[in-house]
Structure 1
Amino acid sequence: MCHIYASTDPERYECETKSVRLQGKVTSLRLEKEFWEVLDQLAYEQQLSRGQFISKLYNEVLLSKGEVPNLASLLRVACIVHLQLCAKPAARFA
């Protein structure tokens, strides 16, 4: 089983730093390429640019929680939740 994961192309988990504007300020985010791709998919599904999607998510979390202590972690978890929701129900509970 581990071979499936161990044979993953290293390019998929290379980190990339991208700039995003949040509340009028530019900040840098460092995520693995695979997460940037999922964020692009999420943004596309919402008919937003990646930056707009991240800004919208950031603002919604600020409104509901009062702070975003770790934006990169929030984005990674959002990607995983999205992938879990897209998975077949049987695969999630197997």
Structure 2
Amino acid sequence: MCEIYASTPPQDYEQVNRSIRINGAVTSIRIERRFWHILDELAAEENVSTGKFISALHAEAYSMNGEISNFASLLRVVCTTYLANKHY
């Protein structure tokens, strides 16, 4: 039943740190490699670097919702939202 999920290569769910500049400040974001690949794809579709995409996303989310308590979680949800909408 879960073989398709259980057979996920371990490197896909390995957490990876990347340094990103957000609002002029360098910060480190740690999320799973698979999510970084999706964010890279999203950025490419927008014709910007992943860093610029993430910085713009942060600015827009902050503008709409105020303080972001867990930005890494927001990035994961953005990725799943992107994948869910990609099928339509």
Please tell me the TM-score bracket, short chain as reference: over 0.9
* Structure 1 residue 67 displacement after superposition: 1.3
In structure 2, C-alpha distance between the alignment counterparts of 1:39 and 1:83, rounded to whole Å: 11
Q: Can you give the 5+ residue segments of structure 2 that lack an aligned partner in the other structure?
A: none
Q: Which amino acid aligns with 1:79?
A: C
Determine the structure 2 residue equivalent to 1:10. 10
The C-alpha deviation readout for 1:41-84, integer Å capped at 9, x for no partner, is 00000111000000000000111111111110000000000000
Aligned residue in 1 for 2:70: 70
Alignment of 1:1-94 (within 5 A): 1-87=1-87, 89=88
Q: TM-score under structure 2 normalisation?
A: 0.96
Farther off after superposition, 1-10 or 52-61: 1-10
The TM-score normalised by the length of structure 1 is 0.90
Larger-Rg structure: 1
Q: Distance in 2 between matches of 1:81 and 1:19?
A: 23
Identity of aligned residues (%): 49
Instruction: State the partner residue of 1:92.
Output: none
Name structure 1 gaps, 5 residues minimum.
90-94
RMSD: 0.8
